[in-house]
Amino acid sequence: SPSTAGIQTESRPQKVCLCPFLPPQPLEVSTCLYVVQHPAEESRVLRTVPLLAACLPQGKCNVIVGRRFNEEKHPELAAVCRDSRTLILYPGPKSENLEELVQYQEVGTAKYNVIIIDGTWSQAKNMFLKNSLFHLPKQVQLNRTLSSQYVIRTQPSNICLSTLECAAVALSILERNDEIQEVLLKPLKALCSFQLQHGAQIHHSKEHLLKNGMYDKPMPKNKRKIKRMEKLLSDHSICPR
C-alpha cells in the first residue's frame, strides 16, 4: 500500500499506516508529474514517491524506473519530453526560476508536465547528463527557501529537498495554491516524526556536518571528491533540485 511506510530496524514495526495524514480525496491538479526513478530507489525502505502518488489522482504521478531512456524503449516519455508544455526540474546555468516562468500567466491557461529525477544527488546528475531526452524540455529550478523536512535521510546541503518536497513546491507554484504544499508535506512530516519517536536519528546534511566539525567519516583522497566537498561548503548550486 502506498500509504504505509516500512521501518528499517527489527525493534520497530514493519509498517506504519499513514492514511490519517493523507488527503481525504486526491488533490485535484492540472499538472502531470513524471518521476524518473533510479532503480536503486525501489529497494530503499524510506521513500517519498509512494506518499506523493497516494496524494494525487491516478495518472497525475507517473513513475518510470530506469537509468537510460530512449525513444524506442520509452515512446511515451519521449513524447512528453518533446511536448512544449513539459518542464524538467533540474538546476543549473540554463535553468529558469519556476516562479518567474508562471508569474505573468493567467491561472489555468497552461497545463504543464513536470519531470523530476528521483535518486541520490550523484545518481540524478548522472541520469540528467546521460539522457539526451532530458535536455529537450525547458529546464527549471525552485527559488523558494525551504528547509527539508526529510530529516531521516542525509542530504548534501541544507537547501536540498526530497522528491516529494520538490513536487510539493512545484505543484503549489504551478497550481497557484500554497495549500497543496501543506497537504503533500503532512504525511512526510508524520513519517519522520514516527521514525524519530521510535529510535531513528536526525540526519544532518553533509554541509551542516562539515561546517560544524561533525563529519566523522574519513575525508576522501580522490581530488574530484575533495573538490566536491569544498564546493559543498561554499556553493549551494550543487543541489540537483
First CA to last CA distance, the chain: 27
Spatial separation of the C-alpha atoms in residues 89 and 179, rounded to whole Å = 21
Do residues 44 and 5 touch, judged by C-beta distance below 8 A?
no
β-bridge pairing 4-6 and 15-17: antiparallel
Q: What is the DSSP string of 64-86?
A: EE-S---TTT-HHHHHHHHSTTE
Beta bridge partners of 63: 35
Q: Is 160 helix (H, G, I), strand (E, B) or coil?
A: coil
Q: What is the DSSP string of 36-59?
A: EE-GGGGG-SS-SHHHHHHHS-TT
In terms of C-beta density within 10 A (0-12 exposed, 13-18 middle, 19 or more buried), how is residue 81 classed?
Answer: buried
pLDDT single digits (tens) 55-80: 999 999 999 999 999 999 999 999 99
Spatial separation of the C-alpha atoms in residues 140 and 90, rounded to whole Å = 6
- The C-alpha cell at 2 is 502506498
Q: Is 3 helix (H, G, I), strand (E, B) or coil?
A: coil
Q: Is 63 helix (H, G, I), strand (E, B) or coil?
A: strand
Helix or strand holding residue 89 (H, E)? strand 86-89
| Mean pLDDT (10-residue bins), the chain, 241 residues | 44 62 91 95 73 94 96 96 96 91 76 94 92 97 63 45 89 93 85 56 40 50 58 46 38
94 DSSP 8-state letter: T
Q: Which of 62, 70, 140, 137 is nearest to 101 (CA)?
A: 140
- The C-alpha cell at 88 is 524538467
